[in-house]
Amino acid sequence: MQYPEPIAKLIDSYMKLPGIGNKTATRLAFYTVDMNKDDVKEFSHALLATKEDLHYCSICGNLTDEDPCEICRDKTRDQTKILVVEQPKDIMVMEKVQEYHGLYHVLHGVLSPIEGKGPEDLNITSLIRRLQKNGEVKEVIVATNATPEGEATAMYLSKLIKPAGIRVTRLAHGLSVGTDIEYADEMTLFKAVQGRTEM
């Protein structure tokens, strides 16, 4: 027996999410069927709002509903440092540590020849323009993940930025190799920021 089409479509939709297999998608679909109508409407509005109301900050590339984003508008932050991350979610994780008070820049990925991702596919050009335009920046902290692709991206950025006389540092390896920043605990991230090293 097949599921009615609305449930089958909902299961297919849930399966498009990362890490969601058929069993979990089916469980979520039936949970959604049991939700009251107002909660389902609120859930669907929240989904639509993420696509309609969010965009990338024109300065740093972070997700925001205002441009520039809240962090880029905050003049009390240390304007001499830019911490470069792979994804917007990494900024949220770093902000939880409450140790770093500078600016950010989001690459939206890493160099990956296997996936066909080169420098032109990342948010690197805007970082270089930003560094040229803003003479205040004295240090760029590269906080890409400790993966081969993250390391290659960090080295590439270092070679691009160092000739401009800007200090380039890398988060200390309090983060174990292969660990994504979003899964690291706050103390590990705190130690990593404190122990960053020159590249």
HSE (CB half, 13 Å, CA atoms) of 85? 22
User: d(Cα 174, Cα 177) in Å, to the nearest integer?
Assistant: 9
* Three-state secondary-structure class, residue 28: helix
Per-residue pLDDT of 92-145, as tens digits, reads 999 998 889 999 999 999 999 999 999 999 999 999 999 988 789 999 999 998
CATH code of domain 58-198: 3.40.1360.10
**CATH 1.10.8.420: which residues of the chain?**
5-52
Report the DSSP beta bridge partners of residue 169. Answer: 141, 198
Per-residue pLDDT of 32-50, as tens digits, reads 999 999 999 999 999 999 9
Domain 5-52 grouped into CATH 3.30.499.10: no
User: d(Cα 197, Cα 171) in Å, to the nearest integer?
Assistant: 7
Residue range 3-9: average pLDDT? 94
Per-residue pLDDT of 173-183, as tens digits, reads 666 767 788 88
Q: Model-level pTM?
A: 0.79
* pLDDT attached to residue 174: 64
